[in-house]
Amino acid sequence: MPEGDTIYRAARALQKALGGKVVTGFETGLAKLARVNDDSPLVGRVVEKVESRGKWCLIFFSGDLILVTHMLMSGSWHLYRTGEKWWMGRERMRVVIRTADWEAVGFNIPVAEFHTVRSLERSDQVPKLGPDILSEEFTIGRGVERLAAYGRENPEAEIAVVLLNQRVLAGLGNVYKSEVAFAAGVNPFRAMRTITPREMEVMVEVSQRYMKANVVDGAGDGIVTYSGNRRTTHSSNREERLWVYGRQGQECRRCGTLVMMRKQGVQARSTYWCPECQPWVGMGETAAPVGKTVVTRRGKIGC
């Protein structure tokens, strides 16, 4: 599931492979990109830099052209040596950027647009992002300020929904949302008016620590910058890599209580939590949320 760490790693790998290189070929299955390429061909341009901003990946070409992509739930960037066989079928290809040595292929990318510097500034999405948790400029204090400011304006907003709001903090996705709330001992359904400054500080600190731990580059000068499953626990066992996410009905790794799951927010995203480690604080007027602990499995047709 692409979250800020996934896009950060993708941008880093693309920068290592394409940065400073001349584009020798460009293909796309998206009409909007094809029209721009027809009018202002990419071939001959230099890839100036590739960077991530939250869940967005930006590829800057010489001549004031920027390819902006968002993976949503299923998109991905792949890198191949020239002539190497792709891992996915051509029907899933949305963008191909070729240089002398590499092919960068974007598969199943749902959002892809070309911008100039000026048009990107006028965009209603990328420029309005909150501080990027993985950026070098990010600080715990700034993150807390953004959470607190949003909480003052939206006191009834549920904290886990706020953690997903890219205009508050950029980069967190559905996995980190549940993991960060658990690490801070905060019930994900609590209203912002119940969240203390200290709890905000812990959640921001944990967000940065978890995400940075999942983008550590141990590949030296190579192109592959990361391999493995996202992890928030200290376990190297792939089955024990997360505290609560995806663990509905299983025992909490800390206290043994069964982990709950409940859909949350207008997008009905799955939220996981331990009702014991993440106690409810509702100011007395609302009951603690109850989730499912039993995983419903559908049988085969006819069974």
152 is catalytic: no
Rounded CA-CA distance 102/208 in Å is: 32
In the set 2, 131, 275, 289, the catalytic residue is: 2
In the set 12, 55, 146, 177, the catalytic residue is: 55
In the set 209, 262, 269, 292, the catalytic residue is: 269
251 is catalytic: no
Give the DSSP letter string of 47-60. EEEEEEETTEEEEE
- Give Cα separations from 145 to 57, 169, 179, 208 (angstroms): 25, 10, 21, 15
297 is catalytic: no
How many CB atoms are located within 10 Å of the residue 113 CB? 18
Terminal Cα-to-Cα distance of the chain (whole angstroms):
32
285 is catalytic: no
Which residues does the annotation mark as catalytic?
2-3, 55, 269
